[in-house]
Amino acid sequence: MDGNGRLHRFMIHHVLQRSGLLPDGLVLPVSASIAKDELAYLDVLSGFSKPVTRLWRYRRTDQAPLIDSSPGARPYRYFEADREVAFLQKMIQTTILTEIPNELRYLRGYDAAFSELDATFDLPRSDISKLIRMIHGNDGALSATKRKQFAHLPEAVIDQVERIVRAAFPEDTQPVDHDKPS
């Protein structure tokens, strides 16, 4: 998404914060939900921008567009925003009902896996963190390619690390058959 999209999402966060509906300092991560439904987001934005853009008369030049006529402020000030509001409401609902619970589940699993791995093995914290992310991101197994990064660890240790990570994320990962290509 481009700079206008970033500005748009900033404005959403800013308006939500200023509305008084959220405690001071709390940012509702609605951008994560929007990013996961980018096609619908772009469709909603285009539903406004395409018709309004047709109201402008301009010619392209080497430096900048030469504006012959513009619609003035009216289409920007007084427009029907039903689609935009419905989309934003859906994204806020998705954030509250799905994104935040998923993130909390992930953080609980990550913390549980990290604590157990840190207590069980003498590994650098950065390696523990990488192992958790790699294993969790690959359905509970460290791929053959990623295993090469940890060639200094015995296979039995990697297997135990995988079991610990899978146990920490029971709803997300299932045991993986190492004979099956990943």
Residues in the chain: 182
**Quick one: 51 and 106 in the same domain?**
no
**Quick one: 14 and 95 in the same domain?**
yes
pLDDT of residue 5: 74
**Final residue in a domain of this structure, among 42, 65, 100:** 100
Q: How many DSSP H helices and E strands does the chain contain?
A: 9, 2
More confident residue, 116 or 8: 116
**Final residue in a domain of this structure, among 100, 117, 137:** 100
pLDDT above 60 for 176:
no
Banded pLDDT at 39 (limits 50, 70, 90): very high
**Final residue in a domain of this structure, among 51, 68, 100:** 100
**Quick one: 62 and 75 in the same domain?**
yes
pLDDT of residue 111: 98
**Quick one: 90 and 19 in the same domain?**
yes
pLDDT of residue 8: 83
- Stated pTM of the model: 0.75
- Residues with Cβ within 8 Å of 121's Cβ and at least 6 positions away in sequence, in order, are 128, 157, 161
Could you read off the pLDDT of 87-110 as tens digits, one per residue? 999 999 999 999 999 999 999 999
**Quick one: 30 and 82 in the same domain?**
yes
